[in-house]
Amino acid sequence: MTVTTTGKLTIEQLIKLEPGLGYLLNYARMIGRRRGRVFCTHELWIELFRPRLNALVGHYREHGPEELRTSAAWDVACRAINAELPDCRGCGCFRLADFPGYHEARP
């Protein structure tokens, strides 16, 4: 597969090619406004968002525009959706940034 793109892919461009991405992005925004004591973003990502994204963008997409079947499209969609999701709350997940020395060890 050879895909030529001019410039950087944006989530807006991907949504024009696959409107389902817009629905997922809006759903992530709604969840981002949700309040509660316990919330696990990782579980939601694994159970809800990742399977749906696999069908819409990236190498697992079987049909449709070639631009959607690239790792670049997957990266753009993942980053856009993750940016809208809240951090985990009270679920027991950890963040690497919380470990002592994490920031100093990064290049």
The verdict on residue 5 lying in a domain is: no
Domain count, the chain: 1
pTM over 0.75: yes
Q: What is the pLDDT of residues 13-59, one digit of tens each?
A: 999 999 999 999 999 999 877 767 788 888 889 999 999 999 999 99
Separation CA 10–CA 5 (nearest Å) = 11
Beta carbons of 77 and 11 less than 8 angstroms apart? yes
- Domain membership of residue 96 (yes or no) is yes
Domain that holds residue 100: 11-105
